[in-house]
Structure 1
């Protein structure tokens, strides 16, 4: 395996795995695949065939690029965190997905899937949501493209993300409460997939992260790849080395991290995904099947899926995207854990030093950076890029309770 040398830090082996096409099996090493009821196999195969055809079509790619530019607000900036960098003794750069339309990275994936749904002749979008950001993005794309939208959301998440529920409803979406199980993202996924079984002929299931049956983990990563590719170019133009020493993003299912890592997987950058302590499947999980894919999953002693917990509703998920599990296995990416207290502290620190209020999800990535600087894991003078996956307006009621 070859190595590249970075003037700003130690060399890291260049990964053999370039985050490419997983092929017809949809496998990333031992993970991924398609574990769905027989009735959904044709629907998944149809989505895969349609995506392959669309992704090879310059007209589709061109329309997607146009909408991402003139509607979603891309490219998003790479913002130096000047004051916090000085305090920490590192160069901290923020990839600002919080500035994309609807306030998070979710719009990148949803516009792509909504265009695909129209191309397939579907009239209705189905979606699951935890923090509400994917639901808002789906409702937005549905309104833009004239598609009915139904969003499944755990009843607990509806309570703590009331603002996003209202946004979805104003945009014309139907929000369906899910009262089963832990009443969070896992249960919303269950209900969305059940509904898809009975409505696949006229509905398109717009999955919000790099999870689900093949082709969704691959397809969502490709739609989110724009984050990493933009950031790679911005770093090349602004850094002496051209590449940060550390590239950090929060991970639940892991779409913002997958999109970010895709831009740097073939460089010397250290890739770090940061999980919630109560939902750390890459750290504490075991191999298992969940929502149509095989990956690392939180399980109890009997092998049943365990409940996840996070102060951030978008990370309240007991599994991790299959490609993340593979990147962990081949040691190309590392996965760390932070707790709720560290997250709230990191959010307040960024807000008070830079005037940027990140989503609680994004604050997980920053919390790890603060700890790693404090412990010496990140050396003085290092360059660190953090993807801010979303903005924190939605989390103000939670922050008020956490005081």
Structure 2
């Protein structure tokens, strides 16, 4: 069963490819286990009023007499990742009940998207090739097929007929079902750079070429704050590329820009929302070098980072203060460069944060609106004189 090529192309344009292909994450546990340094908080004994019984079970969390536990798992052998408002359990083998997949990609894979925790529900039973009538699936796409559950090769829910078809191909070719499913999925193919779904298979294509000086679209590179607010921001700007992943350090900024340039060309606007996860090696010159990767015609919007000094280390707070200062200095010298001063906003309105760093549910919508209005107010660089 294949989809029309027009639908696949439309999906490819809609989805955020950059945050799904080739993520530079040190380890599975690093990306899933901590949204950002120092953000894990003790929530023992507390319940999450946003989560009902079904989602609580899907997240692997224990249902208590008062509601869904934030700190304990249904299975005693599992452990809980306790990032406030993004809690999820994982198995002793490190397999999570939810993954930080772009919400549009999650839906294209027919998996259950949980906006309460900004996670795509995952099946941690990796010893099985597939699960029929899986709770992680939506609608008629009831069979959960294990692929690799990694960027560009996420698990997918398919119809029972499609699953049987993939099984036949696997048997006839002597190929594991996971490999067959990965190569014959239009949805997964649409998430990959330089790929096209042709003749029932995903095939590599030549890298695109871009006219010199041409710019198009907007790219946001961010960490857990951008990940939490991605669905709200996408509602305001559905064509933006939102490259956001929990725990991403500031040092990955240049590599993420380069990947976007190779796959989609130069963005008309670059939103730099990295800095919440500091690194000692990062200097002002690194921000300058990253911004220099895009043409002078590209607008740049810096989002100032913030951590509550009362809930973070003095070293991290000092680093973020330096990042804030460097962003302001670059903004003052580069035409078409602006600030989205999130730091000032949450200093005045700390109720927008749930743990001194990450947004509350209401703060996620406020963050998205703030980024959007800051972008609207940012002037384009002056056109070069003839």
Q: TM-score range by the shorter chain?
A: under 0.3
Bigger Rg over Cα = 2
Greater length-normalized contact order (CA 8 Å, ≥ 6 residues apart): 1
Larger helix share, 1 or 2: 1
TM-score of the aligned structures, taking structure 1 as reference length: 0.26
TM-score by length of 2: 0.27
